[in-house]
Amino acid sequence: MATTEPPIEDLAKDWLRVDHDPDTRQEIEQLLFEKNHEELEARLRTRIAFGTAGLRAKMEAGFSRMNCLTVIQASQGLAEYVIEQVPDAKRHGVVIGYDARRNSKKFAKLTAAAFVTKNFKVWWYEVPVHTPLVPFGVRQFGASAGVMITASHNPPNDNGYKVYWGNGCQIIPPHDHGIAQSILQNLEPLSWDKHLHEESLLVEGCLAPIMEKYKTAVNMAADTYSFVSKHPQNHVDFAYTAMHGVGLRYMTEAVNAIGLEKSYKVVQEQAHPDPNFPGLPFPNPEEKGALDVSIWSADRHGASLILATDPDADRLAVAEKVDGQWHQFSGNQLGILLAAFIITTYTGDKKKLAMIASTVSSRMLAIMAEKEGFHFDETLTGFKWMGNKALELDAEGYDTRYAFEESIGYMIPGVVKDKDGVAAAMTFLHAVVYWQNQKQTTPWHKLQALYKRYGYFEESNTYYISPSPTVTKEVFDNIRKFGKPFPQTLGPRKVLKWRDLTLGWDSSTPDHKPTLPTDETSQMITCELEGGTRLTTRASGTEPKIKIYIECHSSHQPAARKGADEVLHDVVLHWLNPEAHGLKSA
């Protein structure tokens, strides 16, 4: 027998019954007064989904949004799930951090209150921190879990709730499903006391000792190379922007620790936290124009390099002035530069050295592994997969030193099993000094040398905004209808390999089962085409986007560039058909 969904007024009454935040209560009351049923439906009918990325949404009233109530409910569900899964979980405790966005500290306080109410030990960061300090703290304290309140580089009105497991990695299935179910079983708020973290003996402020340990860990990773300290005469003038986020404090301490403080030029206009991110509607270093202020500042100071971290400082972008023009390295290019430095300076058995890249990232690392003799592994997108894979490889006897993703994320596992803009920046600065001393070369010229050795890899990445999840599914279903068991061509090129991680089918394996995890709720197709081109298209898990990743490999740069551009044209024209589906281009 079909169930009837409750009227929207009943959902609004349920919200008002449990919400104790006067601001969000007023929002719902106003919408009721205005009889704005469309907005009430959007905010109340569907609950915000908890997944492997935790929670992320716009900050406003409603069960589908980020607000005090949904944070309390998520925290109570997480606490109960951790109790079920982890022996002596309460004593081991939970690490809680937050960035400088609006409401981040308030959400963190309520998270702490929810765990204290369940008698958990809480390791509390007293000021805004960069995201990697939470997984770092989880490992240092042996905590059961960690929570970071951040929306990374999302627009100013968004916020999020990121969860780490006791291994210091972001959660992966089945934990996401288990936590989601536990949240639904623990919806009634037990505490709205934002001051409980100040009053409870279960809460311990811990930023100072953890920062000392973090600096030591970054320095130990750097000490593997030690090129800055061995060559103090080197002068690497670089500008740094925190993009109105939390990165300045942590970057400054790391730079000072390796002796490059005299080379360090801070972009003062974006140095300090500002939750409005003035001039940066999308505070992401990858976005067009995001580095304009940094370029002006670098030119003014005579710096030839720019380093940028996103607002929670877990991503790193780099630009270099080449022949009078600024070149911003793509995520893949910077990823390969860092990998090349680590490979060159690694003193152990190369057969035991392991590196990781996600499936949407450059295949160049895999080619380098074949030629240099180290171990390479591919994972699904997201550092939750790469962090856990690093732990698996280390357990198998490998020495996992590095992982990267094309979206300017870089993991130095000796520091954290997650992306870390500060640790990556320190590795990059050591690389710059090393290249200066060994070959009298710059990052840009080093990259050209790598292309000559391994071939040219040109990319054409973009995305389209989809009007709804239903339309997104329709787009992918239509792609699959172009051929059975898979489309044989894309434009003039033959499809050589086909992998569908939604349906769980792979043309390149004997049983046609993919070696990577599949998920019928997440759209993702990868194919290899004639001419050395690889194409992946997937639906974003956190935004209403259909993302396209194309890379062409050739011994000649013009051919690689031409191949990538032509495949992008063909996939948009023949498979996506934006006009028919109402897709908006980037």
Residues annotated as part of the active site: 152
Of the candidates 143, 308, 176, the one whose C-alpha atom is nearest the C-alpha of residue 240 is 308
Neighbour-count burial of 272, counting CB atoms closer than 10 A to its CB (0-12 exposed, 13-18 middle, 19+ buried): middle
Of the candidates 458, 523, 467, 530, the one whose C-alpha atom is nearest the C-alpha of residue 497 is 530
Any idea what DSSP says for residue 388?
H
CA 184/CA 363 separation, integer angstroms: 41
Of all helices (H) and strands (E), which one includes residue 228? helix 227-230
CA 205/CA 197 separation, integer angstroms: 9
Q: How distant, in Å, are the alpha carbons of 11, 35, 40, 304 from that of 8?
A: 5, 10, 7, 58
Q: Identify the residue whose tokens are 């505070």.
A: 283
**Going along 300-447, which residue ranges are E strands?**
305-309, 316-322, 325-328, 353-358, 375-379, 399-405, 409-411
Cβ atoms of 316 and 408 closer than 8 Å:
yes
Phi, psi for 236 (deg, rounded to 5): -120, 90
CA 388/CA 520 separation, integer angstroms: 21
Of the candidates 131, 58, 63, the one whose C-alpha atom is nearest the C-alpha of residue 96 is 131
What is the rounded end-to-end Cα distance, in angstroms, of the chain? 44
How far is Cα of residue 88 from the mean position of the Cα atoms in its chain? Answer: 30
Assign 254 to helix, strand or coil. helix
Q: What is the dihedral of CA 271, 272, 273, 276, to 10 degrees?
A: -70
CA 214/CA 378 separation, integer angstroms: 28
Assign 422 to helix, strand or coil. helix
Which amino acid does the sequence have at 56?
R
Any idea what DSSP says for residue 54?
B
How far is Cα of residue 159 from the mean position of the Cα atoms in its chain? Answer: 14
What is the chain's Cα-based Rg? 24
CA 136/CA 130 separation, integer angstroms: 11
Q: How distant, in Å, are the alpha carbons of 90, 95, 516 from that of 502?
A: 37, 34, 11
Of all helices (H) and strands (E), which one includes residue 464? strand 462-465
Q: What tokens does 82 get?
A: 């951790």
Cβ atoms of 387 and 393 closer than 8 Å:
no
CA 65/CA 68 separation, integer angstroms: 10
CA 226/CA 91 separation, integer angstroms: 39
CA 317/CA 320 separation, integer angstroms: 10
